[in-house]
Amino acid sequence: MKIVGIIPARMGSSRFPGKPLAPICGKPMIEHVYKRSAMSKTLDELYVATCDSEIYDTVIKFGGKAIMTSDCHERCTDRIAEAVDNIEADIIVNIQGDEPLILPEMIDQALNPLIEDETILCSNLMAEISNDKDFEDPNEVKVVVDLDNFALYFSREAIPSKKKGAENVIGLKQVCIIPFRRDFLFKYTKLSPTPLEIIESVDMLRAIEHGYKVKMIKTQYETYSVDNMEDLNKVETLMKTDELFKEYS
């Protein structure tokens, strides 16, 4: 079984233009994501997929592999599908480029269900939300799951609701490491966009609305996505004492 990781990245982020090249402790964010992901025990190959020459050149300069793609893609999954069109692989892992504190163990966790069960087409990590601010933050995608940890719904709103007085409501957030079986990735990109996917701006809802299951795996590891300068400053502070950073700094 061959497993390939793809990190989609582009300069034109609406919330944080140029984000992949934002410096963190002297290295661009995309370098942190790439070098930490490359430490995964289950990935056979790793690439950055981008439509921007600045990102491509940066990745090549620090010794990574990159693939140029079209600049017309609205969804990262479409960019990934183009990138792997001529790459042989059984499983493709979508690794988001805005989580510079990613741990290689998280990639291995996300892949386990597909390695162990051939009926699972797609999986995703989830983590407990530790505070009310993140629970209410629309930049944090929340998820609710069934008793077998398959996703029921994703939302940028606070779900499940705390408004009926339930005690000890545990919120779960999506952690964007998403393995696909190769055939399902291409099938997914050909599915028509769905109403809830568009409303919530969450890609995984397209699969659910078309009747496919998304397996969720709870991770105990903490990670932080970068959506603005406040996030960037927080991650840089954490990176200074990060043990994994010392291995590639």
Of 44-53, 101-110, 156-165, 191-200, the range with the lowest mean pLDDT is: 156-165
Q: What is the pLDDT of residue 72?
A: 84
pTM attached to this predicted model: 0.91
Q: What is the mean pLDDT of the chain?
A: 93
Q: What is the pLDDT of residue 75?
A: 82
Peptide bond into 23 cis (omega under 30): no
Asked if residue 223 has pLDDT above 90, the reply is: no
CATH number given to 3-224: 3.90.550.10
Asked if residue 207 has pLDDT above 80, the reply is: yes
DSSP-assigned letter for residue 150: B
Q: End-to-end distance of the chain based on CA atoms, in angstroms?
A: 32
Asked if residue 121 has pLDDT above 90, the reply is: yes
Asked if residue 115 has pLDDT above 90, the reply is: yes
According to DSSP, the β-strands at 3-9 and 91-95 are parallel
Whole-number percent of the chain with pLDDT over 70: 98
Q: What is the pLDDT of residue 21?
A: 96
Asked if residue 168 has pLDDT above 80, the reply is: no
Asked if residue 13 has pLDDT above 80, the reply is: no
Q: What is the pLDDT of residue 64?
A: 97
Q: How far is CA 12 from CA 51, 71, 171, in A?
A: 10, 10, 31
- Name the pLDDT band for 47 (thresholds 50, 70, 90): very high
Cα 183 from Cα 176, distance rounded (Å):
20
User: Within 10 Å of residue 26's Cβ, how many Cβ atoms?
Assistant: 9
Whole-number percent of the chain with pLDDT over 90: 82
Q: What is the pLDDT of residue 53?
A: 96
Asked if residue 182 has pLDDT above 90, the reply is: yes
Cα 145 from Cα 114, distance rounded (Å):
18
Asked if residue 59 has pLDDT above 70, the reply is: yes
Q: Where do the domains of the chain lie?
A: 3-224
Asked if residue 197 has pLDDT above 90, the reply is: yes
Radius of gyration of the chain (CA): 17
- Name the pLDDT band for 63 (thresholds 50, 70, 90): very high
Asked if residue 170 has pLDDT above 90, the reply is: no
Q: What is the pLDDT of residue 14?
A: 67
Cβ 97 vs Cβ 83: under 8 Å: no
Asked if residue 35 has pLDDT above 90, the reply is: yes
Q: What is the pLDDT of residue 76?
A: 85
Average pLDDT over residues 152-170: 86
